[in-house]
Amino acid sequence: MQAVRPAPGGFASRLEGWLRVAVEVPTALLVLVEICVLLAGVVSRFVLNHPFTWSDELASILFLWLAMLGSVIALQRGQHMRLTAVVSGLSPAWQARASVLAVAVPALFLILLLPSAQEYAADEWYIETPALGWSNIVRAAAIPVGAAVMLVLSLLRLAELRLRAVLEIVAVIALVIVALKLGAPVLKDIGNWNLVFFFVGLLAVCVLLGVPIGFAFGCATLAYLATMTRAPLTIIVSRMDEGMSGLVLLAVPLFVFLGLLIEMTGMARAMVAFLAGLLGHVRGGLYYVLLGAIYLVSGISGSKAADMAAVAPVLFPEMKKRGASEGEMVSILSASGAMSETIPPSLVLITIGSVTGVSIAALFTGGLLPGLVLAIALGLVAWRRSRNEAVGQKTPAAQVLRAAVIAVPALILPVVIRSSVVEGVATATEVSTIGIAYAVLAGLLIYRQFDWRRVYPMLLETAALSGAILFIIGTATGMAWALTQSGFSRQLAAAMGSVPGGAAGFMLISIVAFVVLGSVLEGIPAIVLFGPLLFPIARAMHINEVHYAMVVILAMGIGLFAPPLGVGYYAACAIGRVSPDAGMKRIWPYMAALLAGLLLVAAVPWLSTGFL
């Protein structure tokens, strides 16, 4: 990741500084208010037995503002995820042009988006929120305001870059726009093959040339809608709104903040010291700890990004001390996200049950063993890949016991989180606030380590990291809608139902299809879109529906977390604060292990149905 920043001391730099203050202070307050609102909802419902009817609604309103202003801070800090592996190999002159492109394409996207965002917000004026009675423009205005501030920042960056390079890139972009307009009849004549041009060709060019991932998704979608359809561009704004503002995703910033709190209060060091005492002398020990932690916490938040955010900040610093490379760490983190998609309580399992009629209880039972198979496969790769890393001496039992006593308050935290969900004390979103409250109390009263000066930077870091992730999810949701409306889903289902080889052929083509779909769609839209179409075909071929669900979910997870297009991979990089380039070469052995485990699950139905 490389940030393009204006020259220090110039007018653009001063203006950006003013914007930074104007955005950062309210955004930090938004994070705090979100935590307080959700925690108040838990207390009112469980302790006072008098639930606040407005808490979820207010949290949803504030969350969209947090997502958009967090995206602004991410743009200011250069934290929007972008792939620079190809660009870094170019000559200095072409690297300069790529740097301009990385600013110009987001600016173009924002210029095209802003009028539609304003229209969308204006249309929401007449809608009243049910609990608070506010005009919904209070919420919807977050998108045009955030887009406008990001546009100003992008134009300031362009103004500080070399004029010749800017003019060259602007000319190229103009030529592409003219070519799309002139070539529209030809693209329409080839039917849905034009999807390959927009969502494979154009998207891949943008990503490979270093355009931030979220803006690349958005530009490809806007280009398709403007060229191939008559759909109003407000559609993409509404899809972004839907993708970025789901209350389940509110767990992402809250778990990010919880991870930072765990590190700041000393809880992380206590846990790592204990775990290292148990497994530090084992080759690849901390890799196994990471896999086990993801397996245990998976599904608590309903978001894989939140699961990774709860684990990575605890383990990555110690793994780095032991010689693990950043690329290796983010590779196994991303692979673990794909591994854990079937582990209950998983939002994907609940969704697939609701749209296909499969028993959710059966899915919960059937999901544990397939996840374990993939965890073992990843553990074998980690064992081999960690052969050159340092291992500690075996820790004496007395020292391990002492470390365990110190770590007990920290180790109780996952139990508190899971118990709160199971006992109905809090929803999957609210439970992160209980974890935050527990971490604050543990830091103040038990570990006696709480640096108040770090809280404000932590709030900003939470907002920036969350904004980068949520912006990608928002634009990816818009892209998913475009693919749905093209009729691509029906054509794909018809083609898959007619493949040779019977049940085995259908299973193999399903794996290939969902790996591809997972790389361009969020998990839930893909399931909602294709589940009702493909599950009847599976039943007709006498494939157990629980078994088929496990195969489909795992295949989709591999696509979701595999570069260069998988959104989950970039989320893992953002959470681990690692450049996507670092893991691009190292991740493939883990992806191969996941694929091998998936094929084993597909070939042996008992792994999914043996305990039903």
At residue 1, does pLDDT exceed 50?
no
* Three-state secondary structure readout of 382-431: HHHHCCCCCCCCCCCHHHHHHHHHHHHHHHHHHHHHHHHHHCCCCCCCCH
CA distances to 70, 317, 413, 582 from 329, in Å: 25, 10, 23, 10
Q: What is the pLDDT of residue 4?
A: 43
Lowest mean pLDDT across 5-19, 241-255, 587-601: 5-19
Looking at the structure of the chain, the number of domains it has is 1
- Give me the long-range contacts of 186-191 (CB less than 8 A, separation at least 24): 187/227, 187/228, 188/228
Lowest mean pLDDT across 65-74, 174-183, 288-297, 484-493: 484-493
CA distances to 306, 347, 348, 602 from 364, in Å: 20, 11, 11, 17
Lowest mean pLDDT across 6-20, 158-172, 352-366, 597-611: 6-20
Say if residue 345 is preceded by a cis peptide, omega within 30 of 0: yes
Q: What is the pLDDT of residue 87?
A: 84
Question: Does a structural domain hold residue 69?
Answer: yes
Please tell me which of 234-238, 352-356, 578-582 the model is most confident about, judged by mean pLDDT: 234-238
User: By percentage, how much of the chain surpasses pLDDT 90?
Assistant: 27
The pLDDT mean for the chain works out to: 83
Banded pLDDT at 171 (limits 50, 70, 90) = very high
How far apart are alpha carbons 416 and 610 in whole angstroms?
Answer: 31
Q: What is the pLDDT of residue 149?
A: 95
DSSP code at position 128: B
Q: What is the pLDDT of residue 297?
A: 67
Lowest mean pLDDT across 297-301, 330-334, 576-580: 297-301
Question: Does a structural domain hold residue 39?
Answer: yes
Question: Does a structural domain hold residue 308?
Answer: no
Question: Does a structural domain hold residue 60?
Answer: yes
Q: Average pLDDT in the 165-177 region?
A: 93
528 vs 175 pLDDT, higher one? 175
Question: Does a structural domain hold residue 480?
Answer: no
Q: Average pLDDT in the 233-247 region?
A: 86
The DSSP code sequence of 445-473 is IIS----GGGHHHHHHHHHHHHHHHHHHH
Q: Which domain holds residue 34?
A: 11-245
- Indicate if the alpha-carbon torsion angle 198, 199, 204, 206 is positive or negative: positive
**Structure token digits, residue 432:** 């992160």
Question: Does a structural domain hold residue 190?
Answer: yes
Question: Does a structural domain hold residue 279?
Answer: no
Q: Average pLDDT in the 188-205 region?
A: 86
Q: What is the pLDDT of residue 3?
A: 43
Question: Does a structural domain hold residue 457?
Answer: no
31 vs 567 pLDDT, higher one? 31
How far apart are alpha carbons 322 and 555 in whole angstroms?
Answer: 32
Q: What is the pTM of this model?
A: 0.77
Q: Average pLDDT in the 527-549 region?
A: 83
CA distances to 35, 552, 599 from 535, in Å: 40, 10, 19
At residue 371, does pLDDT exceed 80?
yes
Q: Average pLDDT in the 348-369 region?
A: 79
Question: Please, what is the Cα angle at 499 between 497 and 505, to 5 degrees?
Answer: 105
Residue 19 amino acid letter:
L
296 vs 121 pLDDT, higher one? 121
